[in-house]
Structure 1
């Protein structure tokens, strides 16, 4: 499922492609992947769709300020990861004032996305700390390299490597004890 950098369509008549055209093509090609990425990080489909939509809207709004339009997909991934972080921060704050924790809602669409056999792994990954969860989702779901993950998360490659190692150890132990 690895996809590379999105390159804007060729220029016609010396005029650069419009934001409308490029962002529309980007949306059509990568919307589902961005929703799935957000879903794996936030745990519910409605919020994931909102986060992904906001990321595409941000690319469109910032079109004239984007320095390297050949790097739209990495920018979009970073926007999705940051949007998920913001959602999770809000949930943490709200959770401090709630008496009970919300259990993730498993809609028919969400169940189809994950499949019954992967639900256990999904819940174990959801229980990981935010940074560990992000690294594993970017690595194993999007099949990104350490450098691409570091860019999306705004951390060093060494941080990605050590975080992934710790996360896999915790995940293996958790899944082993559940069996």
Structure 2
């Protein structure tokens, strides 16, 4: 049991250190990290496509499933290769889509603020301000997707660093408590044997 707990502690410590190192990497080099992730996605898609093509050409019996495998293989391989060659496009797509959604939501908020104004609500300007900020953030995402992605990647890095540090602290407290319990039990065993 002691060896199991010791191994478990080591696994937690290694996992926490990996989180911290990965988090620091994301914070220090967000642009490179995002490209590496996109290239990784491209490689996975390319390999999936190749696997589907191998399945298709490995089958002697052609049926609907093998035809689907061929089509999926071609699409996945081409998409994967394209992402590997153009990772920045995938990096930009996500914030642009989110920017459009946020901007549309902000316009909706502005329209609601005007309704509040028409209905003589005294704090209609707060809704107007919130709507304007929302539109502004959406436009920022649309026209500056690289910075948005880098900011999000840096936040993920900060969360990973926090997760790793908190894991190390918690495992140190658990280890200390377990050691104190073990010492208490050993002291009781010595007392019981002496009687």
TM range (shorter): under 0.3
| Structure whose residues are more often helix by fraction | 2
Larger RCO (CA within 8 A; separation ≥ 6) = 2
TM-score, normalization by structure 1:
0.25
Look at both structures and tell me which one has the larger radius of gyration over its CA atoms: 2
